[in-house]
Chains A and B, each alone.
Chain A
Amino acid sequence: MSFGPFLLLALLEGTVMAAVLALTAVGLSLVFGVMRVVNVAHGEFFMVGAVLAWFVTTYLPFPPALSWLVALIIAPLIVAAIAALADTLILKRLTYDPEATIVATIGILYMLQQAVLTLYGPDARPVPAPFEWRIQTPWFGYSGYKLFVVAASGAILTAVWLFMTRSRAGLVMRATQVDRDIARAFGINVDRVYAGTFALGAGLAAVAAVLIVPIQQAHYLMGHDPLLLSFVVVIIGGLGSIRGTLVAALVIGLSDGVISMFFSPTLAKILATLLVAMVLVFRPQGLFGAKA
């Protein structure tokens, strides 16, 4: 394949990856930003979202597009409810101590994963895309659904941004992020804000999963990769900075496709992992975040 189309494909794939990364990571970033909680179970919320999408699309007698739309609404709601429950029952009682919450979310990770193994089984199962549409260029074909994923991610991220900057709830969340005690002094119910934030973060992971599952398969171990990638994006973008997260997702998504053309993909992963470690050590505010 000549260089032009090659680059086009790399850019297309990079954009899809960036969109998916941004959507998956933004929830993690939000939870860390507002609650200072590193949610290691984030990938499992993603996975539960995908598995719920399988259940909904399999058992609802609607055409694929409709049942997928239903899944897009129901799965995040259920996941958000699970997250709110986990927050109330577990994280709140730990008073959000950073280290204890990490251990607890590792525990939640195993519990969710194993619960899905029991209820859903170990198989990878496909979820049909809401529509099948292939774009044919002179050099290669491309999935139209993937382009839809990019558009949908953009729309959802815009909605999140509007919610955070324009709505009262978003304002309350940002106030709590700045100072939990002052927020409490102003009569903000911090417990509810936290539960809501945790639910929102998990719900966003589930939305990402429902969008992505038609191009992957629902599998009980699928949460591992999104978790690590989200970590990479959130840390390089600056812990807790949503804008940094988005920039990092774009940079990493676009560069990953190109880098893995020149290096072995395993080597690319090694370099990305080490980069994260080095960023935390030498530039904890992230590469794109403002200085704390």
Chain B
Amino acid sequence: MTRKLTGLTASRRAVLQGAGAGLLTAGFVAPIWAQAAPIKLGFQLHRTGIGAAYGRWYERTAQAALKMVNDAGGINGRPVEIVFEDDGTDPKRGAEVVEKLTRQHNCDLIFGPLFSHVVIGSAPRAGELKVPYLVCSEGFHVAGGKLNRWSMQPGITDVRAQVQSMAPWVLANLGKKVTMVFPDYAFGHDHRDYFTAAVEAGGGKVLAQIAIPPTETTFTRYMPQIPTDTEVLYHVMVGPAVLTFVKELGEFYGSGAKPQIFGFIDSLEAVDMASPGLEFLEGSHFWEGHCRNKQPDAPDYEATYRAAVGVDDNGASVSDPKDISTYGHMFSVWETLHIIKAGMESAGYQGAADRQKFVEAVEAMTVIPASLAHVQGEKVFNGKTHQVFGLQFISRVEGGKLVKVHTSSMEDGMYPDAVDFSTQSF
């Protein structure tokens, strides 16, 4: 305890992991780093709790991005360190972790959280501490105006834009009568609200909205609620029971007639497409934030990225082909770190005093071209809503692999600004 009260002890494990890459290359590539104090980035990580399956891959992606940034000379010529702190996927602990990263580890900024309730629970504290808080969450909370000027989402498109840009293609190619199955909490409600609106705007009809409680472990009994005249079944599930859901869907339809199936890859994130019981997905479609199976038209840097994060061409860990990554989402960590680098360099970031300058520098970003740093593709950042917009992919399951059949346009995902953070005070 006394040791703790001095405020000096860092998270041992976190420093070992986070600093490892940076310090190694420090002596190697750029000897001047010997004098330069490192830039410390705090990572709010879902290492335990309900978000842990994502957290593991987010940590791995962050390590890979860190290595790449340090290998390329760090940020403003300074080495970079990441301090990881587990938030247990809990909003109370999340706010405490923001505090710890900022005040005990003296991190320059914080990034990385995915689950919305953690983001919403932690963002107020980040705002009070005036520390930039870059979330990798997909939630509509940032652009929805719920948070504050210190919170941004520059690494991944939000749910609203994702679902909205799916609607035109789904209506044109799969059918007009849609039934939606989604988890009965905020993330699912965003899907429900924005996809329904987009379907109706496109002349289609949502026949039924089936909300499933997040604690549910068996789903078959919900399936008779799917109207028989459904042309498209839209599904998105999250959490440890995702595989059960998809398997039971397959059992339910069996070899009988079934509607077109369109799912968000969230329903199968970190799940092997070759799992027994998933054969029925053959020919169905998925939204993908980033194509899990390497596509023939993939740019060169896609291979570099996969090698860096240790993922093979099928989206599995290179060390274990059954260990599937959260490939459709984890690029957001990679890209966020590169936004941090770009923002800090453009702001001439020196230390904590320049945090506001950093936020303003990110707000000033607009078009972000595709590159290794932005491996998922071209993006447009909206400085007013603090939300980035990007391209979305639709893939079809062919021979157990996800084959890209459609890329949305940037405009498909655009919607009117709900907030203008740039006019708010810091």
Chains A and B directly touch (beta carbon < 8 Å): yes
Binding site for B on A (CB under 8 A): 1, 5-6, 9-10, 13, 17, 117, 121-124, 126, 128-129, 132, 134, 136, 138-143, 215-217, 219, 221-222, 224-225, 257, 260-261, 264-266, 269
A228 nearest in chain B by CB position: B215
Q: B50 contacts the other chain (Cβ, under 8 Å)?
A: yes
A172 to B215, CA, bound (A): 39
Q: Mark B228-250, 1 if CB is under 8 A from A, else 0.
A: 10000000000011111001101
Question: Do A215 and B244 have beta carbons less than 8 Å apart?
Answer: yes
Minimal beta-carbon separation of B375 from chain A (angstroms): 24
Q: Out of A1, A136, A225, A264, which one reaches B217, CB within 8 Å?
A: A225
In the assembled complex, the CB of A254 is this many whole angstroms from the nearest CB of chain B, namely 11
State whether A123 touches B221 (Cβ < 8 A). no
| Chain A hits for B56, CB < 8 A | 121-123
A138-B225 Cα distance, complex, nearest whole Å = 17
Chain B contacts with A in 240-271, Cβ cutoff 8 A: 240-244, 247-248, 250-256, 270
Task: Report which of A140, A225, A260 forms a contact with B253, defined as CB distance below 8 A.
Answer: A140
Contact with A along B177-189 (1 / 0, CB 8 A): 0000000100000
Known contacts: A132-B276, A217-B241. The answer to whether A123 contacts B256 by CB under 8 A is no
| Distance of B78 from chain A, by nearest CB (Å) | 33
Q: Nearest A residue to B51 by beta-carbon distance? A: A122
Nearest A residue to B272 via CB reads A126
Q: What are 10 A-B pairs with beta-carbon distances under 8 A?
A: A5-B224, A6-B224, A9-B223, A129-B276, A139-B256, A141-B254, A143-B248, A215-B218, A216-B218, A260-B221
Residues in chain A near residue B254, CB distance under 8 A: 134, 136, 140-142
Contact A141 B216 (CB under 8 A): no
Report A-chain residues with C-beta under 8 Å of the C-beta of B228. Answer: 1
Shortest B253–chain A CB gap in Å is: 6
B residues sitting closer than 8 Å to A (CB atoms) are 47-50, 52-53, 55-56, 184, 211-213, 215-218, 220-225, 228, 240-244, 247-248, 250-256, 270, 275-277
Complex-state Cα separation, A1 to B49, whole angstroms: 38
Chain B residues near A9 (CB, 8 Å)? 220-221, 223-224
Residues from chain B with Cβ under 8 Å of A122 in the complex: 47-49, 52-53, 55-56
Asked if residues A225 and B215 are in contact (CB atoms below 8 Å), the reply is yes
Residues of B within 8 A of A17 (CB): 218
Q: How far is the CB of A31 from chain B (nearest CB, A)?
A: 23
Q: Which of B52, B212, B251 contacts A265 (CB 8 A)?
A: B212
Taking a contact as CB atoms under 8 Å apart, the answer to whether A13 and B220 are in contact is: yes
Chain A residues closer than 8 Å to B256, beta-carbon distance:
136, 138-141
Alpha-carbon distance between A270 and B49 when the two chains are bound, in angstroms: 24
Known: A122-B48, A215-B244, A221-B50. A10 touches B253 (CB 8 A): no
Given contacts A217-B243, A221-B240, A257-B221, contact A136 B255 (CB under 8 A): yes
Cα–Cα, bound, A58→B49 (Å) = 24
Give complex CA distance A225, B250 in Å. 24
Residue among A132, A142, A217, A225 with most chain B CB within 10 A: A217
Contact A261 B48 (CB under 8 A): no
The distance in angstroms between the C-alpha atoms of A65 and B85, with both chains bound, is 42
Asked if A216 and B217 sit within 8 Å, CB to CB, the answer is: yes
- Min Cβ gap A265→B in Å is 5
B321–chain A nearest beta-carbon distance, Å: 14
Q: Which residues of B contact A117 (CB under 8 A)?
A: 48
Q: How far is the CA of A117 from the CA of B56 in the complex (A)?
A: 13
Inter-subunit contact A123/B218 (CB<8 Å):
no
Q: Determine the chain A residues whose CB is within 8 A of the CB of B240 once the complex forms.
A: 124, 217, 219, 221-222
* Interface Cβ pair total, 8 Å cutoff: 104
For B222, the chain A residues whose CB sits under 8 A away are 265
Closest to A142 in B: B251
Chain B residues with CB below 8 A from A216, complex form:
217-218, 241, 244
B52 contact set on A, CB distance < 8 A: 121-123
Contact A261 B243 (CB under 8 A): no
Closest 7 pairs between A and B when the two form their complex, measured CB to CB: A141-B254, A122-B52, A124-B240, A219-B240, A13-B221, A136-B254, A143-B251
Cα–Cα, bound, A252→B253 (Å):
26
CB distance from B326 to the nearest CB of A (A): 11
B255: A residues at CB distance < 8 A: 134, 136, 141
Q: Are B221 and A124 in contact (CB under 8 A)?
A: no
Q: Check A124–B253 contact: CB distance below 8 A.
A: no
Q: Which of B48, B53, B55, B247 interacts with A124 by CB under 8 Å? A: B53
CB distance from B118 to the nearest CB of A (A): 15
Report A-chain residues with C-beta under 8 Å of the C-beta of B223.
9, 140
Give complex CA distance A217, B218 in Å.
11
Per the bound structure, the CA–CA distance linking A222 and B55 in Å amounts to: 18
A123: B residues at CB distance < 8 A: 52-53, 56, 270
- The residues of B that contact A140 with a CB separation of less than 8 Å are 223-224, 252-254, 256
Report the bound CA distance from A224 to B239 in whole Å: 14
Expressed in whole angstroms, the Cα–Cα distance for A100 and B23 within the complex equals 51
Task: State how many angstroms separate the Cβ of B62 from the closest Cβ of chain A.
Answer: 17
How many angstroms from the CA of A9 to the CA of B254 in the assembled complex?
Answer: 14
- Cross-chain contact of B213 among A141, A261, A266 (Cβ < 8 A): A266
Given contacts A122-B48, A123-B52, A136-B256, contact A222 B251 (CB under 8 A): no
Closest to A224 in B: B215
Contact check, B213 vs A128: say whether CB atoms are below 8 A apart.
no
Bound-state CA distance A49–B241 (Å) is 17
Q: Which of A134, A261, A265 has the most CB of B within 10 A?
A: A265
The residue on A at minimum CB distance from B212 is A265
CA distance A75 to B23 in the complex (A): 45
Q: Is the CB of B276 within 8 A of A141?
A: no
Measured in the bound complex, the distance between the Cα atoms of B145 and A85 in whole Å is: 54
CB-CB under 8 A for A217 and B252, given A13-B221, A17-B218, A140-B223: no
- Report chain B residues within 8 Å CB of A5: 224
Q: In the bound complex, how far is the Cα of B56 from the Cα of A216, in angstroms?
A: 21
Bound Cα distance from A128 to B255, whole angstroms: 21
In the bound assembly, the distance between CA atoms of A143 and B248 in angstroms comes to 8
A126-B275 in contact given A1-B228, A219-B240, A225-B215 (Cβ < 8 Å):
yes
Contact A1 B275 (CB under 8 A): no
Q: Kindly identify which residue among A10, A126, A224 contacts B243, using a CB–CB cutoff of 8 Å.
A: A126
Query: Smallest Cβ distance from A258 to chain B, in angstroms?
Result: 9
State the Cβ distance, B154 to closest chain A Cβ, in Å. 27
